[in-house]
Amino acid sequence: MNVLVAFGSHLGSTEAIAGRIAAAIRAEGADVTLRAAASPEPVDRFDAFVVGGGTYAGKWHADAVAFVRNHAEALAAKPVWLFSSGPLGATGGSAEPHPPSEMSDLVRLVHARDHAIFAGAYDRSHVDESELGRLEKFVAKRFIPEGDWRDWPTIEAWAHRIARDLVPGAIGAL
Ligand SMILES: Cc1cc2nc3c(=O)[nH]c(=O)nc-3n(C[C@H](O)[C@H](O)[C@H](O)COP(=O)(O)O)c2cc1C
């Protein structure tokens, strides 16, 4: 079972979530490749896909969107899970976080089994060297609260549920 975990990340927090998901699925016995969604490497050898991206101004990271659209045919024929990272701040109140605007189309396009929204993280020190545009950098530094709200047990439980669907004998979420 070859699983590709692909991520679009401007400031590193989604990349770390993808890494944690890859490690959890690997621990259940799958062969897992972790790779930037922008990578030009082919995807035909994979049996399943997990694709994640940060949410910026209501949109999913452009590399994650492009990955799903460009590989739609290959992905639609295999099990696919999608996740987005954002919002920032405590979740769990009555207001459900909004999915990125492209998400319902993409879920339909590749028949994704699930789309999970995970709380994200923001560290201002990564902004200057990032590929964010000038306006986003300005907004980030001026208005976005710094902190790390990533809920690792929730993220890992989601990854173990994926493994349970893919790997015979996987323990899955406890
Ligand atoms: C400029 C900027 C805009 C953002 N816009 C949103 C948004 O519209 N919705 C959301 O849920 N999170 C938003 N976030 C939070 C990010 O999605 C969150 O920090 C995410 O974990 C970033 O992923 P990355 O570090 O992989 O780039 C924004 C963050 C920044 C810096």
Instruction: Confirm whether 38 is domain-assigned.
Output: yes
Alpha-carbon torsion, ordered 11, 85, 43, 129, to 10 deg: -10
pLDDT at 96: 78
pLDDT at 11: 97
Q: What is the distance between the alpha carbons of residues 162 and 6, in angstroms, rounded to a whole number? A: 15
Instruction: Confirm whether 172 is domain-assigned.
Output: no
Looking from the CA of residue 15, the nearest atom of ligand 1 is 26
Looking from the CA of residue 56, the nearest atom of ligand 1 is 5
Instruction: Report mean pLDDT in 10-residue bins for the chain, 174 residues.
Output: 97 98 97 98 97 97 98 98 91 72 98 97 95 95 95 97 90 62
| Total count of domains within the chain | 1
pLDDT at 172: 65
| Antiparallel, parallel or unpaired: β 147-148 and 121-122 | antiparallel
Instruction: Confirm whether 173 is domain-assigned.
Output: no
pLDDT at 120: 96
Instruction: Confirm whether 174 is domain-assigned.
Output: no
pLDDT at 90: 64
Residue ID of nearest Cα to ligand 1 atom 21: 120
pLDDT at 174: 53
Alpha-carbon torsion, ordered 150, 20, 12, 61, to 10 deg: -90
Strand partners, 138: none
Specify the 3-state DSSP secondary structure of 169. coil
pLDDT at 171: 73
| Residue labelled with tokens 């696919």 | 80
Looking from the CA of residue 87, the nearest atom of ligand 1 is 11
Instruction: Confirm whether 99 is domain-assigned.
Output: yes
| Ligand 1 pocket, CB under 6 A | 9-15, 54-58, 85-88, 120-122, 136, 139-140, 144
Instruction: Confirm whether 148 is domain-assigned.
Output: yes
Helix 152-166 crosses helix 13-27 at what angle (to 10 degrees)? 40
Beta strands of 16-153 (E only): which ranges? 31-36, 48-56, 59-60, 80-85, 114-118, 121-122, 147-148
Pocket test for ligand 1, best of 10, 55, 65, 131 (most atoms within 8 A of CB): 55
pTM: 0.95
Q: What is the distance between the alpha carbons of residues 81 and 111, in angstroms, rounded to a whole number? A: 9
Instruction: Confirm whether 158 is domain-assigned.
Output: yes
CATH number where 75 lies: 3.40.50.360
pLDDT at 71: 98
Domain extent at residue 142: 2-166
Instruction: Confirm whether 59 is domain-assigned.
Output: yes
